[in-house]
Amino acid sequence: MTVFNVRPWALFPLIGIVAVDQLTKWLVVENLEPTTAYPVIGDIARLYLIRNSGAAFSMGEGATVVFSVIQMIAVVICVVLAFRVRNPWAVAAVGMIGGGAAGNLIDRVFRDPGGLHGHVVDFVSVGSFAIFNVADAAISVGVVVYLVYALIIEPKKSRQQERDEEQEVQAS
């Protein structure tokens, strides 16, 4: 197989997630006041701009560099996998997880206070749940897609292939 035959399909959703994530963060930073609630659907969903130095639920605020390194590793793994995965489920999962990790990594590198210490822009607030962004949502959905594929679809497909092989042997 030559390099020209490789089609890194997962790079398309990965790049798309990064673009949408960064565009929405730019729009929010330019147009909303920090820590002010902007109702979208009453008290159920609102825009609420914060800067998060930690991980999900603002946990680990003193470990920004650790999260940055983890995100770098995740992005590298997803880019490598983008050249290997062919199954649509895997393409979607790798693209979403990689795009989300890259989107938040961009914040950690380029937003104040800079370096690997930057704060992630979060702005989606649903009920009393954590405040998150497009990148966070992409990572979460990507993990769910992968788990559904790995734990339900692939085992079912393998069992069906085994049954098909048994029927071929019996028919011979």
Q: Which positions are annotated as active-site residues?
A: 122, 136
Query: Do the Cβ atoms of 103 and 18 come closer than 8 Å?
Result: yes
Nearest to 121 by CA among 42, 19, 48: 48
Residue with tokens 């390099």: 3
DSSP 44-97: TEEEEEEEESSSGGGTTTT-HHHHHHHHHHHHHHHHHHHTT--SHHHHHHHHHH
Query: Do the Cβ atoms of 121 and 103 come closer than 8 Å?
Result: no
